[in-house]
Amino acid sequence: MNEHDELIARVAETLKEPVRIDPRLDARVMAEIEAGRTAVPPTRRVLDWLTQARTIRLSPLGGLAIAAGVIVLLWTGTQLRAPSPAAEPSLAAAATLTTTVQFVLIAPDAQSVSVVGDFNDWDVSATMLREDQAPGVWAVTVPLSPGRYRYSFLVDGTTWLTDPLAAQAVADEFGRPNSVVTIGES
Amino acid sequence: MNGERDGLLVRRVLGGDTDAYAGLVARYRDRLGRYAVRMLGNEADAEEALQDTFVRGYRSLARCTDPDRFGAWMFGILVNRCRTHGAKRARRERLLVHDEGAMSGASVAHSEDRDAWREEIARALERLAPDQREAFLLKHVEELSYDEMHDLTGVSVSALKMRVLRAREELRRLLAETYT
Amino acid sequence: MTTRANITLIVLSTVFMATRSVGMAHAQEARLETRLADPARTQVNRMLDSARAADLPTEPLVDRALEGAAKGAPPELIVAAVGRLWDELRTARDALGTRASVGELTAGASALRAGASDTDLRELRARRGTQPLTVAAAVLADLVAAGVPSDTAIVAVLSLARAVDDAQYVAFRRNVERDIALGASPSAALGVRLDAARAELASADHAADRLGDRATRPDRKRKP
C-alpha cells in the first residue's frame, strides 16, 4: 500500500469511529409520532377508523376503499375543479382567474377541523371544514388564485396535521411540516 | 424488547404497537447518526436529519418490503434526508461570508493529537462537494459495494467511482497541505 | 439573517416610506397588529417597507409571519423566516424579471430554497418562454421535498421546460412521488420517469413529423 492509500485508510479509520447521538432524540422522535403529525402505518388506519380510535389518525384513500358503508367522497386530499373568475391583488396583472380547490380530511373523532394556510392569513378558524357528505369525512372548497400555498389542517384547535396525499413544503422553519398546493396560471 | 430482531419489532409496530418503534430508534440512532454527522458536519444538523428520517420511517413503515433489513432501508431514507438537508443549508450559507483564510492554515501541524486530526478531517470533508463526500462516506466508511451504492442513490457505478476518486484526490490534497 | 444589502435597503426604506400608499401599509400592519407582538412586529413591518421599496410582493412575507404566529413560534424565528423569504423573493425577482407574477415569485423562492440557483431560474424563464413559471418552479421544489437530490431535480425540470405544459409537469411530479412512495429511491424514480417522459415526447414529435408527411393520425397518449 503506497503512502497515498495509507492516508485515505487513516482517514477512513477515524471516520469509522463511533458517534454518540444524544439519546433524548428517541423521545423527540416518539413525541413527534404520537402527536399525530405522521400517519399511522396503513394496516392500523383502517382498524382505528372502524373502531373509534382514541386519537386522530389520517386516513388515506386505501383505508376508505376497504371500509364499508362510507360514501367514497373523492380520491385525494386536494382536487381541482373548474375555474371561476375573481379579482386578486397582485403586482403584475389586475384580475386573475381562480381555481376551486377541495380539501378533504378523514377524522372520525374530530369535533372541528379547519384548514389553515397562506390563502387565509393562517387564521385558524377562517376556513372550517364540514362533515356534509359522511360522518368523519371533513371537506371544504376554497377558490385560489395562481400561486403556491403552504397549508395544514388543525383538528379540534390543537393538533396540526399535514395532508397525507399532498406534496410537502421543502423547509418548515416553525417546527411543524406543511403541505403545499400549487395553482398554475393556465 | 431488547434483543428482538428488527423484523419482529417492525411487525409489532405494524400490528399497532407504536412503542416498539422506540426500540428500533434506540438501536439505530448512533449507527445512522455516524453517517449523518460525517455527512452534515455537525451534530445539530445530524440530529435534525435523524429525527426526520426516523419519523418518515415510521410513517412509511408498511413500505419496508424486507423488515429484517430495516436498518438498510432506514439508511436509504437517511442518505436522501441528508441530501435535502444539505441543499437547504447550502442555500442559507450563501448569505453568510466565508472567511477562507480562517478555514485553512489554522491547523496544528505535525501534531499527534488525535482531536486535532479529527478536526482536520472534518474540515477537509466539509470542503468536498456534497456528492463526493457522500460517495466517499458510503464507500470508505459505510463500506458498501458500488452496486449497493447504486441501489441506494440511483447514480451509475461509473459516476460513483469517479466521485470516490475525486474525493480521495481532494482529501489527499487538503490533508497533505496540513501535514507537510 | 439579513445581508448587508438588506440592511442598506431597510435604512433607505425610511426615505421611501413617505411616498408609499398609506392605505395599503395600514392594511398590512393591521393583520400583524393583533397577531404579532413587538419587537418582532416592528422588525417585520420594516421588512415589509423595504420590500415595497424594492418592488417585491409583501403578501408572501405577511403570510410567513402569520404562519409563525399561528403556530406559536418564538418571535426571533418568525423574523428570521421572513428575512430569509425576503432574500429569496428578491433573488427570484432579479432572475425572473419585473413582470413576474406573485405566484411565479413565491414558487421561484421555493425553488431557491430547494437548492436551485438564480441562474437556474433564468434558464427556466428562457426555456419556458411566455408560459408562466409557477408550476415548473413549484414542481422543482416539490421533487426536492420528496427526496430527489436538488441538482437532479433541476436538470429534470429544465430538460422538460420547453416541451411540456403545466398539467404534464404536475403529472410527472405525481408519478415520481408515487414511485417513491412505493419504495423506489428518489433518484431512480426521477430517472425512470424522466426517460419515459422524454421517450413520450420524442415519439410524439416523430409522429407529428409523420403526420406532416403522410396525413395519418398518430395515437398520442399523454402520460409523462
pLDDT digit string (tens) for C154-213? 999 999 998 888 888 988 998 898 888 888 888 889 999 998 888 888 887 777 666 655
pLDDT on residue B27 = 92
Contacting chains of C (3 CB pairs or more, <8 Å) are A, B
A112 — pLDDT class (breaks 50, 70, 90): very high
Contact assignment for C138 to A148 by CB distance below 8 Å = yes
Determine the Cα–Cα distance for residues C217 and B10; give it in Å rounded to an integer.
53
Contact indicator for B83, C147 with CB cutoff of 8 Å: yes
| Closest approach of A174 to chain B, Cα-based (Å) | 13
Residues of C with CB under 8 A from a CB of B: 1, 3, 84, 87, 112-115, 144-145, 147, 149-151, 181-183, 185-191
pLDDT on residue A164 = 73
Query: pTM, whole model, 2 decimals?
Result: 0.51
> What is the SS3 assignment for C114?
coil
| Grid coordinates of C193 | 420517469
Of B15, B43, B121, the CB nearest to A15: B121
C52-85: b or e for each residue (b if 16 or more CB lie within 10 Å)? bbbebbbbbbbbbbbbbbbbebebeebbbbbbbb
CB count, 10 Å around CB of A112?
16
B103 — pLDDT class (breaks 50, 70, 90): very low
Q: For residue B61, list chain A residues with Cβ-Cβ distance below 8 A.
A: 41
High-pLDDT (> 90) share of chain C, %: 35
Contact indicator for C121, C129 with CB cutoff of 8 Å: no
Name the residue of chain B whose CA is nearest to C141's CA: B84
pLDDT on residue C120 = 92
| Grid coordinates of B35 | 453517517
For the segment A41-53, the average pLDDT, to the nearest whole number, is: 39
B114 versus C96: which is more confidently predicted? Answer: C96
Q: Is the pLDDT of residue A98 over 90?
A: no
Q: Does C20 touch chain A (CB under 8 A)?
A: no
- Restricting to B residues 67-96, those with a Cβ less than 8 Å away from any Cβ of A are 84, 88
Mean pLDDT of chain A: 68
Contact indicator for B62, A43 with CB cutoff of 8 Å: yes
Nearest Cα residue to C51 out of C81, C85, C27, C77: C85
Positive or negative torsion for Cα C160, C163, C167, C171: negative
pLDDT in tens, C7-65: 444 444 444 443 344 444 544 568 888 888 888 899 999 999 999 888 899 999 999 99
High-pLDDT (> 90) share of chain B, %: 39
pLDDT on residue A16 = 93
B37 — pLDDT class (breaks 50, 70, 90): very high
pLDDT in tens, A60-89: 333 332 222 222 222 223 333 333 333 333
Mutate to test the interface with B, among A1, A25, A32, A37 (most CBs of B within 10 A): A25
B102 versus C143: which is more confidently predicted? Answer: C143
Nearest Cα residue to B25 out of B46, B9, B42: B9
Pairing of strands A137-144, A147-155: unpaired
Contact indicator for A155, A161 with CB cutoff of 8 Å: yes
Q: Is the pLDDT of residue B35 over 50?
A: yes
A145 versus A82: which is more confidently predicted? Answer: A145
Q: Is the pLDDT of residue A32 over 60?
A: yes
B25 — pLDDT class (breaks 50, 70, 90): very high
User: Exposure of A69 by Cβ count < 10 A (0-12 exposed, 13-18 middle, 19+ buried)?
Assistant: exposed
Contact indicator for B167, B133 with CB cutoff of 8 Å: yes
Of B51, B88, B141, the CB nearest to A28: B51
pLDDT on residue C25 = 52
Contact indicator for B134, B79 with CB cutoff of 8 Å: yes
Contact assignment for A47 to B33 by CB distance below 8 Å = no
Least confident of A102-116, B57-71, B77-91, C120-134: B77-91
Q: Is the pLDDT of residue B145 over 90?
A: yes
For the segment B112-134, the average pLDDT, to the nearest whole number, is: 87
Of C3, C114, C188, the CB nearest to B87: C114
Q: For residue B153, list chain C residues with Cβ-Cβ distance below 8 A.
A: 185, 187
Contact assignment for B55 to A33 by CB distance below 8 Å = yes
C67 — pLDDT class (breaks 50, 70, 90): very high
**How far from each other are the two terminal CA atoms of chain A, in whole angstroms?**
63
| Grid coordinates of A80 | 381541482
pLDDT on residue A95 = 41
For the segment B10-29, the average pLDDT, to the nearest whole number, is: 89
Helix (H) or strand (E) holding C55: none
For chain A, the DSSP string reads: --HHHHHHHHHHHHHTS-----THHHHHHHHHHHTT-SPPPHHHHHHHHHTT-SS-----HHHHHHSTT-----SSSEEEEEEEEEE---SS-SEEEEEEEEEEEE-TT-S-EEEEEGGGTT-TTTSB-EEEEETTEEEEEEEE-SEEEEEEEEETTTEEE--TTSEEPS--TTSS--EEEEE---
B67 — pLDDT class (breaks 50, 70, 90): confident
